[in-house]
Amino acid sequence: MEKPLTQHIPASGAPLHLKEYEAVGGYAALRKVLQELTPAEVTDKVKDANLKGRGGAGFSTGMKWSFVPAEATGPRYLICNADEMEPGTFKDRWLLEGNPHQLLEGMIIAAYAIQATQGFVFMRWAYKEAAQIMNQAIADAYAAGYLGKNILGKNYNLEMQLHTGVGRYMCGEETALLNSLEGKRAVPRAKPPFPQVSGLFGKPTIVNNVETLSYIPHIISKGGDWFKSLSYTADGGTKIYGVSGKVNKPGAWELPMGVTMRELLEEHAGGMKAGYRFRGALPGGASTDFLTDVHLDVKMDFAGVAAAGSRLGTGTMVILDDRTCPVGFVHNLEHFFAQESCGFCTPCREGLPWTEKILYALEQGQGTYADLEQLEMHTKLLGPGNTFCALAPGAMEPLQSALKYFREDFEQHIKEKKCPYADHTHR
C-alpha cells in the first residue's frame, strides 16, 4: 500500500529536512516542471488526476486553477490554507511538522501553474512548532534556489512567506482568510467575484489546503493514472483519515480513498475501548452529520459519505460512545460554533447562541418539548442558503442528525429533568 504523503515522515517525529527530502526525490518534480512543462500543462495534469480538495469541499483542484483568467495583469497569489481549526481534525499538522518541503514543492508548482509571484502559508496561530519548522524550511528553500528570483536558473520568480492567523475558526473560510491576510476583520466576502478572479488585494488568487498541495509533486512525478490507482473508488488518491474518541488507538493514517468506516474504526483505531459501545460518528470533523452503526460499511469518499447523508469533510472521525451524552456532545460543539461566529450575518450571529442556550437548558434538566421544536426550526433557518457562509449550516449538521438518530436521549432529558448521563464518570 503506497503512502506518498507520509511515507518519508520520520518515525521520531522530527521533520524531514531539505537534504533528506532531496535524497528521496524531493524537488525533482519542480525541476521537471520548470524544464519540461508549461503552466497550462501542469494544470491539465492535476485536472486529469482528479485531485479533489482535501480541505472539506472536495472541488476539483485543477479545475479551480483553470478559473484564473489568462489575461489578468499584475500580481497573482497562491495561498496554502493551514488554518486547521475544525474540531476533531489534525491531519494537516502531521504534514506541516513532518514533511514541510513536500508542501513547499507543491506550492511552488501550483504557483507556477497559475503564474503567481507570491505565496503565503496561512497557518493556525496555535501551531507554534509547525510555524518554526515551516519558517526554517522556507529559509532552506531560498538558500537552495527553490524560491526567490530565477528559480533553478529558469525565468520564474516566487516569494514565499508564512503568516500566522488571528485564532478564529472563520479564517479557514477562504474569503475570510483573504480579509485576515489583508489586515482586515475576518469576515466572508460576497461571491462572485470569486478569489480566482478577484482575491487577495483584488488580484487572482488560489487557496488550497495543506493536504491538497502536498499531493502535487507526486502527481507530476508519477502521473494521473498512478494517482487514480491508489484509490478504492472513483475519487482518486489516498486520504489522511483520523479517529478520535473512546477508541484504543486514536490517531491518523494515510489510506486508500474509499476505505470503510468499519476498517478505520476496528483495524486502524483498534476498536472501542473496553466498556464502551459505538453509537455514532461525525465522519469528517465537527461540522458533519452523524452516521451510526448501520453506516459502518460506508466507503469514506466524497460520494459514499454524501449518499449516506453526511459529508466526508476532512475525513477525521469523531466517535460518540454509549457513555457520552449526545445532547452534551452536541452542546459542546454548538458552544464552539457560537463563539466562532464572525457576527456578519444575523441568522448565524443570533441563531447559534440561541441554539447553544437551548441545548444548555436541556442538559441542565430545564428543557421542554417546545425546545425540540425550536431546535428543529433552527436547523432549517440556519441551513444552506440562509446564511452568508457555510459556518452556521455546518454547525447545524451534527445537531440535525443528533435529533434524528438520538431523539430519545433529548426526550429523556425532558422527562427526567436532568441529564441521564450525569452520573457517568466519562461524559
Q: Is 418 helix (H, G, I), strand (E, B) or coil?
A: coil
Taking CA atoms, 167 is separated from 21, 35, 89, 331, 377, in Å, by 31, 40, 15, 21, 31
For residue 260, list its beta bridge partners: 299
Q: Domain of 180: which CATH number?
A: 3.40.50.11540
Same domain? For 411 and 340 the reply is: yes
Q: Is residue 376 part of a domain?
A: yes
Q: Is residue 375 part of a domain?
A: yes
**247, 273 Cβ separation under 8 angstroms:** yes
Q: How is residue 148 annotated by DSSP?
A: B
How far is it, in rounded angstroms, from Cα 280 to Cα 296?
9
- Cα 203 to chain center, whole Å? 24
Q: Which of 395, 305, 350, 347 is nearest to 86 (CA)?
A: 395
Q: Is residue 284 part of a domain?
A: yes
According to DSSP, the β-strands at 238-244 and 316-321 are parallel
Q: Is residue 425 part of a domain?
A: no
> Grid cell 524560491 — which residue?
147
Same domain? For 47 and 73 the reply is: yes
Helices (H) and strands (E) in the chain, counts: 17, 9
Same domain? For 174 and 260 the reply is: no
Q: Is 209 helix (H, G, I), strand (E, B) or coil?
A: strand
Q: Domain of 263: which CATH number?
A: 3.10.20.600
Phi, psi of 86, deg, nearest 5: -70, 120
Same domain? For 340 and 364 the reply is: yes
Same domain? For 209 and 331 the reply is: no
Same domain? For 249 and 371 the reply is: no
Q: For residue 188, which amino acid is it? A: P
Q: Is 346 helix (H, G, I), strand (E, B) or coil?
A: helix
* Domain limit, last residue, from 182, 205, 229: 229
Domain that holds residue 121: 18-229
Contacts 24+ apart (CB under 8 A), 7-11: 8/99, 8/102, 9/94, 9/95, 9/98, 9/99, 10/98
How many structural domains does the chain have?
Answer: 3
Indicate the pTM of the whole model: 0.95
Same domain? For 225 and 244 the reply is: no
Taking CA atoms, 97 is separated from 128, 130, 144, 242, 365, in Å, by 10, 5, 20, 16, 44
Helical spans, DSSP H, in 120-234? 128-143, 174-181, 210-222, 224-229
**pLDDT tens track, the chain, 427 positions:** 899 999 999 999 899 999 999 999 999 999 999 999 999 999 999 999 999 999 888 899 999 999 999 888 889 999 999 999 999 999 999 999 999 999 999 999 999 999 999 999 999 999 999 999 999 999 999 999 999 999 999 999 999 999 999 889 999 999 999 999 999 999 999 989 999 999 999 999 999 999 999 999 999 999 999 999 999 998 999 999 999 999 999 999 999 999 999 999 999 999 999 999 999 999 999 999 999 999 999 999 999 999 999 999 999 999 999 999 999 999 999 999 999 999 999 999 999 999 999 999 999 999 999 999 999 999 999 999 999 999 999 999 999 999 999 999 999 999 999 999 986 544 4
Cβ contacts of 421 within 8 Å, gap of 6 or more: 323, 324, 325, 328, 427
Cβ contacts of 142 within 8 Å, gap of 6 or more: 148, 160
Q: Which three cell numbers stand for residue 378?
A: 433552527
Phi, psi of 42, deg, nearest 5: -65, -45
Q: Which three cell numbers stand for residue 204?
A: 487572482
**188, 342 Cβ separation under 8 angstroms:** yes
Taking CA atoms, 344 is separated from 187, 193, 206, 288, 392, in Å, by 7, 18, 24, 22, 11
Q: Is residue 2 part of a domain?
A: no
Q: Is residue 109 part of a domain?
A: yes
